[in-house]
Amino acid sequence: MRRTRGGIVVAALSATLAATLAAAGDLALVTNQNSSDLSVLDIDARQELRRIPVPGNPAGVAVAADGSTYTVSPDTKTVRRIDPETGATLAETVLDGGPIGIALDADHGRVFVSDWYNARIWALDAGTLAPLAELETGSAPAGLAVAGGVLASADRDADQVSLFTLSDLRRAARVTVGTRPFGLGFAPDGRLFVGNVGSNDVSVIDPATARVTATLPVGDRPYGVGFAAGRVFVTNQYADTVSVFDLATLAPLATIPVGEYPEGIDSIRDTGPVVVANWFSNTVSLIDPATLQVVGEIATGDGPRAFGRFILQR
């Protein structure tokens, strides 16, 4: 009888959570490394809806349009596909190197995971997470980004970015950037912005020519790059700030104080808000991309990293 009653209670709670998520607005799926879980945040309501256990200290994250959330747990070398509405793990695989960054290639049904220790990227089936191929990179690949038929890898210890064509997974170019590139992202206009944590700047790459077209000075230890309202946003880990540039002219616009040790960054559509994960503050900051003001904050689990694209737009 106790088991039956307990089952009824659990089922009722699961149904309530699912209904709550279904009724929520845009979501942020934030990996919390220290507490080994995933915070599901309702951006409109500015509240945490639930936390999903994710063993192994997750950091990397990528969110599909259907809500499937891919996480990378470096401590256990595990990649998972999670349903944020039920909290269920839909697929998982254990890799044999040092998985860290992740990006989704929705058009070809693949996810890519960087291997920090072995200078490679795994291509996995987006549904089953079965390995499909391995791509050679420079030393210590970290952040990954996909757009415009191109996969980009920030090869930190090689001070370069590797560019691959998605159609055939061929490496098309290696581009020398600043010192120790880590996070990167494609702008809406197709240019690639790369945060160099060693030289405190951002390299701007034209993927068509595989050339650096500009270098932007930022704060101490730039980590993640995001875009909204015709502007570029860069998290500065050691400065506890976000640097902002005009996307068209690359002119500096503002330096915005946020929480402590900002890392992952993503945005809700082009109008925002821009969402910043503050690793040491256990919060995300919400920035209005038009006014360049912090307009809200939401508590998370312990050690939010959100390294990747973590917004689910409804």
Q: How many CB atoms lie within 10 A of CB 81?
A: 22
pLDDT score recorded for residue 314: 83
User: What is the pLDDT confidence band of residue 18, given thresholds at 50, 70 and 90?
Assistant: low
Read off the pLDDT of residues 233-251 as tens digits, 9 standing for 90 and up: 999 999 999 999 999 999 9
Q: Would you state the structure tokens that stand for residue 282, as one six-digit string?
A: 């256990």
Confidence of residue 24 (pLDDT cuts 50, 70, 90): confident
Query: Per-domain residue ranges for the chain?
Result: 2-312
As a whole number of angstroms, the distance between CA 280 and CA 175 comes to 32
Identify the band that residue 16 occupies on the pLDDT scale cut at 50, 70 and 90: very low
The per-residue pLDDT for 1 is 29
Q: Rounded CA gap, 38 and 269, in Å?
A: 22
Mean pLDDT of 163-180: 98
Residue 109 has pLDDT above 70, yes or no: yes
**pLDDT value at 134 more than 60:** yes
Q: Residue range 22-28: average pLDDT?
A: 83
Q: Are 105 and 98 in contact (CB under 8 A)?
A: no
Mean pLDDT of the chain: 94
How much is the pLDDT for 165? 98
7-16, 42-51, 147-156: range with lowest mean pLDDT? 7-16
Q: Say which CATH topology domain 2-312 has.
A: Methylamine Dehydrogenase; Chain H (2.130.10)
Q: How far apart are CA 165 and CA 151, in angstroms?
A: 6
Beta strands (DSSP E) in 21-140 are 27-32, 37-42, 47-53, 60-63, 69-73, 78-82, 89-94, 99-105, 110-115, 120-125, 131-136
pLDDT surpasses 50 at 13: no
pLDDT of residue 2: 31
CB atoms within 10 A of CB 137: 25
Q: What does the pLDDT read at residue 23?
A: 63
The 3 state secondary structure assigned to 114-165 is EECCCCEEEEEECCCCCEEEEEECCCCEEEEEEECCEEEEEEHHHCEEEEEE
Per the model's pLDDT, the better-predicted residue between 122 and 268 turns out to be 122
The pLDDT value given to residue 22: 65
pLDDT at 237: 98
* Bridge partners for 194 per DSSP: 184, 203
Query: What is the model's pLDDT at position 269?
Result: 84
Residue 150 has pLDDT above 60, yes or no: yes
Residues of the chain with pLDDT > 90, as a percent, come to 90
- The pLDDT value recorded for residue 272 is 87
